[in-house]
Structure 1
Amino acid sequence: MFIFMALLAFGLGSCNSEAPAASVNDAIEVTTRGQKAEEKADNFTAGKWEDQNTFVNLKLDGSFEASFDGETTIVGSWTLSDDEKQLSLKAEESLEGKGSVFAKTYEVVEATPDLLKVKDEEGYELAFKAA
């Protein structure tokens, strides 16, 4: 009996009880703003859009360039709501001569590879064509 207990204790003592360390191959998920925009690119076409004197360039990295008056170019970031029904544009800094920062949210009326229709908060609709 004693030999059996000694073997059992000795055998258990030599078991590797340490948890395995994470290996380099273990996946760690990190999502950036650009990756989120790329994931939505299948459903929402990021790219260059034009409508008369207005243009918007929605880039895959989440940034944008736009001009709504044909003169002033606004640079900032864009986001699309999870339900893909609201497009938000926010400038990086205030416009020259104006104290406020440009920030607009549009309702996405229609989004196809060739057409992007949005409506602003006042109900004004813009119909952009792919540039």
Structure 2
Amino acid sequence: MASCDKAENPSPCARGCGIYGAPRNHNLCSQCYKAFLKEKAPKDALTLSEKISSLTIKTEKDDSTIKTKTQRCMVCRKRVGLIGFSCKCGEIFCRNHRYPEEHACTFNFKSIGRVILAKENPLCKADKLENRI
């Protein structure tokens, strides 16, 4: 009765250590196969890290072209991060200088308000002579 683990024709280890090797271990004995795996693991890790670094290099190049500026308040130069308030004058301010009165805004709110009111409330003139011929 032959078992599945034993080979019909055992072959010597491919590294020549004198012990018989198994085909599932690339014709290496168990000790040489463990050494082979230890040698192979750093190479695989190195190739994997090279692949990853090549991917990160591409993203670094993309990031350098889209370089974002740190956002700061235009009055006190304080970093505002995600909570920066943008004004209609086009600048970004912190919470202390977000109001137009605090940062001496140059945007003309009156003229914009008048234009909006004129568009929303058109002039309605009724005909003075209702029964014209």
Greater relative contact order, per chain length (Cα 8 Å cut-off, separation 6+): 1
Normalization by structure 2: what TM-score?
0.31
- Structure with the greater alpha carbon radius of gyration: 2
More strand by share: 1
Normalization by structure 1: what TM-score?
0.31
